[in-house]
Amino acid sequence: MTAVPHPRTEADGPARAGRRSLAVALLSGALGAAVALLATRQRWSEGTATVAGGSFPLTARGSDVTGVPAALAIVGLAALVAVFAVRRAGRLAVSALLALSGLGIVVAALVGASDSGALDEQAAQASGDTSATVASFSHTAWPYVAAAGGLLILLAGLLALRYGRLWPGMSGRYERGGAPRPRRVAPVDPDRPEDMWKALDRGEDPTGADPA
């Protein structure tokens, strides 16, 4: 006997897309924030400063160059969580904030890759000359790693904008059209006097008769 496959309903497609997009958005958003935060703690640029006794190397971490990627990574992570706490227009606004956070990280990281301001400041302090600048400036790959983290957060935001209406909310299982759930009343056994007294204490008619 051949089993007959169950026909797929029209709602199966959107529901499946919602589940897949939710999983991808959560993974990419959380991973992107972690990558961006990690990258800002690494060495972004290096160079040398010339003083009377010679030259010595200088290095600058991502947080020394710019604080924007780390700040936006935290904002993006908070927005990723907040997506599930709001609905409709609120979810759309939070999703847009999530996407903009990722885009801001990308722009700040790429700009920071060629920014020698942090090293120039160190060179001025080391030489005692406020006009001194760093020599032999170069950058590492970490700014681009931070930009990749921003792209992951941007992806999460775009998925939230596109499929967020299909995602569940934190309080969805507690709400039923905004109306409170009716209280379940235990049946009263007329042969048990204690049940009848409990029903009277609750203001109920233990006989089950309709009020006149």
CB under 8 Å to 132, separation ≥6 — which residues? 49, 50, 120, 123, 124, 126
Quote the pLDDT of residue 87: 83
Residues 42 and 151: their CA atoms lie apart, in Å, by 19
The matching CATH number, chosen from 2.40.10, 1.20.140, 1.20.120, 1.10.4030, for 21-170 is 1.20.140
Quote the pLDDT of residue 142: 96
Quote the pLDDT of residue 165: 86
pLDDT tens-place values along the chain, 212 residues long: 455 555 555 556 667 877 888 899 999 999 999 999 999 999 999 988 877 767 778 899 999 999 999 999 999 999 999 998 888 889 999 999 999 999 999 999 999 999 988 888 888 887 777 777 788 888 999 999 999 999 999 999 999 999 888 888 765 444 444 455 555 555 655 556 566 566 666 666 555 555 54
Instruction: Give the model confidence (pLDDT) of 129-138 as tens digits.
Output: 777 778 888 8
Query: CA separation (Å) from 127 to 54, 64, 116, 138, 182?
Result: 10, 19, 16, 20, 77
- How is the chain split into domains, by residue range? 21-170, 184-212
How large is the C-alpha radius of gyration of the chain?
30
Q: Identify the residue whose tokens are 């009716």.
A: 182
Quote the pLDDT of residue 206: 54
Tell me whether residue 81 is exposed, middle or buried, using C-beta atoms within 10 angstroms of its C-beta: 0 to 12, 13 to 18, 19 or more: middle
